[in-house]
Structure formats: structure tokens, C-alpha cells
A and B are shown apart, each in its own frame.
Chain A
Amino acid sequence: MLIAISFYSLAFVSVAAAFMVVASKNPVHSVLYLILTFFSAAGLFILMGAEFLALLIIMVYVGAVAVLFLFVVMMLDVDFVELKQGFLSYLPVGALVAIILLLEMLMVGAAYFAGETKTVVVRDNGVSNLEAFGQVLYTDYAGVFEAAGFVLLVAMIGAIVLTLRKREGVRKQIPSEQIARTKEKGLKMVDIKPGVGIE
């Protein structure tokens, strides 16, 4: 009973929040709703017994991705008046597409519940989530794991290629030289005679 209640409330919150991501006018609000969606998805994973995935979602998506989005969105110069103008003209087409998609989703979902076999395999051999991941991640999935590393490397090369600029004539601070400065090198004692000036 409790599980059913928490499932339905989490599912409702995640769908409603996902709707608000698209519907809200203010991009900052959208990102905040996105965080809410991630949180309720994490809750759903915990209900399914996938506590590792749930923690991963909170750490990666909420902790890193969504916060990054928030920063980017806050830096954007958003013109709210302009945002509100186009909405009504797109509404009929958008609503039509949305309704068709919704019907299709319902059909797919109905087909799933009408079928007799459920394909989700529940692991119940006393192995924790983390252990189960560890057993396959570096063995069965070693190849794709390495390949995923290359994907990240490509992204890194891209970030550097597209943003790094070598600037000429920039004065750099070199700490080692600063520290190595001694009294003898940096200071010169001059005995000034009256009326002569320095050198």
C-alpha cells in the first residue's frame, strides 16, 4: 500500500514536473523543474530496488548537469516579452503533435500492460546493485566502456580546440621567480649625495 502510494505520487510529480519544464516561461524555473524531475526519477529507481542508479542520477544529473544548466541559463540574456509572443501561433500545431504523441504513448503503454509476459528481470540472488554493476562493467562491457572513454576524450579535445587561444604578449606571473627573489637581487642601496641625483 505504502509502496503504491509512493509510486503514484512520485510518478505524478515526475510527469507534472517534466511538463512544467516545457511549459514554464522562465528558463530558470524550467531548470528547477528539471531538477525536480530528476529527483522523482531517482525516487522511482529506489522503489525498484536500484539504489545505485538512484544515487548516480542525483550525483550526476542533479549535482553536475542541472547545476551547470542553471549557470548557463542565468548567464543568458532572455527576453521574456519576446518569449511570450510566439506561443499562441505555435499552439495548434504543437498541441496536435503532442496529442498524437500522447495517444501513441498510451497505445504502447496499454500494449505493455495487456501482455502477459513482463520482461523486466529482477535480480534476486543476494547481490547488491553495486556488486552487480562491478561484475559486468569491466568484463562483459569492457569494450564499450573503453569506447565511452574515447567519446569523452573527443569531447575534451573539442572543448580545447574550440576555445583555447594562445595570446601573445601577456605578462605572466611566475611564482617560482617571485619566491626566488632575494634581498640582494631586488634591493640596491644607494648613497645619495645632496644636489647630484641618482646616476
Chain B
Amino acid sequence: MFQTISLFAPQLVLAFFASQLLSTGAFAKRDISIGVRNFSIFVLLIYSVIGFILGKPTGTAFKGALVIDDFSHYMNLIIGLSAAATLALSKSFFQIEKLDRFEFSILVLYCTLGMSIMVSANTLLALYIGIEMQSLALYIMAAFNRDSLRASEAGLKYFVLGALSSGLLLYGASLIYGFTGSIEFTQISEAISYGASPGIIAGMVFLLCGLAFKISAAPFHMWTPDVYEGAPTPVTAFFASVPKFAAMALIARLLVGPFETIVSQWQQVIVIFAILSMFIGAIGALVQVNIKRLMAYSSIANMGFALVALSAGNESGVKGMLIFMSIYVISIIGIFACILQMRIRDGMVENINDLAGLSKSNRSLALVLTVFMFSIMGIPPLLGFFGKFFAFVPAIEAGMVWLVVLALIASVIGAFYYLRLVKIIWGDESSHEFVEAPKTLRTIALMSSLLVFPILILPLISIPTQSLISRAASSLF
């Protein structure tokens, strides 16, 4: 009994406390949003480490619906930590904008529950339920500022296009079920090993298209800039970091699980997604003036890089993707902690030119932001360089040198707009000063900038993390 419960303890913790907090909040006489947020952060931290505390149990739960392995333990850790960080980021923003309601924290908890189901999904049904739980919470969070026209538009746009992508995904799932006779990943894999009919391949392509929408890989990226711009900034930080990683992990699990025998088939799809995303992301960002739109295009390009790693189709490819995405999530949270500090007396500002002269008015913020820009560009010895390194090496080993060359060209194009940001920060004349940011924001920005700074390269930290990631990647095979 305990054995079974310890398997899905992370999900259990989230579901139990989210529901408890919901009923507490619903019946509370006064506004308890701050308490709910703090407790939710605590719950997320428990969720992220409970698998490790219980000694990393492995096996399948719910008659094979969920599979718990080292991969899901690692993903739970990263998802929990980064969700907790983004939730902490949201505090000051929502309070200053007078939007704070306790439901936001609850939605983050349920969204994380959906993501934890996604990364452990072992059947098409669990996969779909996890995705829907996560997406529904995200749609609501995008429109959370319901009095703002832009936020409502973002929520509606995200919802309609998300419903479309769910349709694609379900159609693919139904094709796969029809042609293999099962929704369980192990049995699908067995059925495919006897030969993949066109129906299975069509189903797989539809499934991948639906998931590509969730990671905003081109050509399914259209919603990203508008939604990122319209949604409240902490929500955008959440969008750009955690759900992306969860969906990417789901794609990895799907590709090397049920579809492992048709590598050559899905490789083509992933390569097309990767090339389109890298270039659309890099070129689209060149003309942006709003920093949230810029980050949207930057995230599209980064998804392309992660897909380059996956397209190798082997264990080191999955490992490269995990390393790249972990580093990406750390830097994105840091960058958004900086963006959230862009507040003048009249409110938030979001234009790139508002950063002008930051080096004189706020030297520490300028330094931190510059570190992030250089890291995400991939300049050694910052961590972003190692992310790209580990993402591209598997592809080279798999013989796709041309793809890596294209990726390098895209990163050089992308370097332009990151450098432009650095130039505006250090070179341009200041127009106004930002008001002093709350302590949480500064701490998180500083912490993640320290993480991308060479600390993680130190062997003491990098070796355990690497072995964690290696075991996570190998548990999929």
C-alpha cells in the first residue's frame, strides 16, 4: 500500500494541498492571498523533493497510466522549483497592480499537477488529461487581469488556438489507437515494432503538431508573441519557463517511448520544427520593440535549439535536451525577474528603449541583465554556452552536421538582438529611473544570475546534476 502511494506521492501532495487551499480560500472571510501564495510555494517545494526523500521509487501507478522513473523525478524537481520561483516572482506585481487573488496560486498548483501528470504519462489518456489540466489553468492565468483588454484578448486567443491544437492531438491519438489497438505506450511501441502503417505515422505527426503548439515551435508559434505581450508579466514568466519544459519532456518521452522504432520517421518532423523555429525566432525578434514580445521570439528560437538535441534520437540527445532546457528555464526566470523590475512611477514599462542608460541609473540590474543576455547568447564561460554545447554535440554525433551549422547561423542572427539590448543598457542616454524593486525580485534575479554565472560549472554542483540528468535520460530507454 505504502509502496503504491509513495509512487505518486508528488501528484498526491499537489492535489491534496491545492484542494485544501481552495476550500480555505473560498470560505475565508478576508483576503488571504498572501498566505495562500506562501503556502503554495512551500507545497511546490515539497512536491519537487518528495520523490527524492522517498528514495526515488520507480514503477507504474494506476494500472500503468503513470510511469514513475528517474526521468519523472528529475522533471518533478525542476518543474516544482521553477514554478515556486515564478510564483514568488508574481507576488509584488499582483499586489502593486491590485490584482492579487488567492485563485492565482491555486491555478499554479493545478497547472503543476497537470504538468507532473504529463511528464509521467504512460498512456495517451493520461497524456491528454495532463495537457488539458495544464492548459486550462494557463488559459485562465493569461486572462487573469480581466479588466485589461489586452489580457482578455491574450486569454481568448490562447484558448481558441489551444483548443485547435487539442483537436489535432486528439485526432492523432485516435488514429494511433485505431491502428495499434491500444492507448498504452508499451503496447503501442510493440505494435509499431511489427511495422508502421501510414495511419500510425499520420497519427504521430498529428500528435507532434498538437504538442508543438504547446512548446510554441514554428509553424505553430503564431499565438506566442500576442499572448506573451498581453498576459500579466509574471504569468508570461511562467508561460515561458515551466510548461515549455514539461511539454518538451513529454515529447521526449513520446518519441523514445512508443515511437522508438520509427526514429527515421519522426526525425524529419522534429528537424523541420527545429529549423523553422530557430529561424523564425531569430529573425522575428529583430524588429521587436516590446521586451515581452522579444522574449517570445527568443523562446521560439530556443525551442528550436532544444529540438536540435532531440532530433539526434538517442540517449545523449535526450540528455542534451534536458541540460539545455534546465539552463534555459533558469535564465528565463532570471530575465523575467529583471523585466518585472522595470517599473517607473506611473506603472510597468515594457519597451526595450525604456532600458536606456540603465548602467548609470541602476548598475546592479544592468549587470545582471547583461549576464543573462550573454548567457542566452551562448558566450563561454557562462552557462548558456554549455547548454548549447550539450544540445548540439548529440546532433553532430548523429551525423547531422548541417543542422548544427544552421543552428549556429540562427544563434549568430539571434546574438544581434541580445547585443542590441546590451548596447541600449550600457550605451544610450537615460530617460527615466526605475523605482526600487521589491526584495524578492532582486533576490531571484541575483540567484539565477549566479546560477548561470560559472557557479554551476564548479564540479561540486555540476557533477551531481549531470549524473541526475544522465540517469533521467537513460531511464527512458
Interface residues of A (CB under 8 A from B): 104, 107-108, 111-112, 115, 119-121, 139-144, 146-148, 150-151, 153-155, 157-158, 160-163
Contact = CB atoms under 8 A, between A and B. Distances in A.
Q: Considering residues B22, B110, B143, which has the most beta carbons from chain A within 10 angstroms of its beta carbon?
A: B110
B63 interface: yes
Given A151-B132, A161-B107, 12 more contacts: A119-B180, A119-B181, A141-B65, A143-B66, A144-B125, A147-B117, A150-B110, A151-B114, A154-B110, A158-B137, A162-B140, A162-B143
Interface stretch (B195-203, B227-235, B374-382, B388-396): B195-203
Contacts of A154: 107, 110, 133, 136-137, 140
Interface in B383-421: none
Interface of B is mostly: helix
B9 interface: no
Contacts of B19: 153
B179 interface: yes
A26 to B, nearest CB: 21
B62 A162 contact: no
24 contacts: A111-B197, A115-B197, A119-B178, A140-B63, A143-B61, A143-B62, A143-B65, A144-B126, A147-B117, A147-B126, A147-B129, A150-B113, A150-B133, A151-B114, A151-B129, A153-B22, A154-B140, A157-B22, A157-B103, A157-B107, A158-B140, A162-B146, A162-B155, A163-B146
Interface residues of B, number: 41
A180 B292 CA distance: 59
Contacts of A142: 62
Nearest to A110: B198
Given A112-B178, A161-B101, A151 B140 contact: no
B219 to A, nearest CB: 13
B136 A155 contact: yes
Interface string B58-88: 0001110110000000000000000000000
A92 to B, nearest CB: 19
B62 A108 contact: no
B62 A104 contact: no
B356 interface: no
A144 B8 CA distance: 13
Contact of A144 (B15, B65, B181): B65
B175 interface: yes
B363 to A, nearest CB: 40
A161 B129 CA distance: 22
Contact of A108 (B66, B106, B199): B199
Contacts of A119: 178-181
Contacts of B106: 157
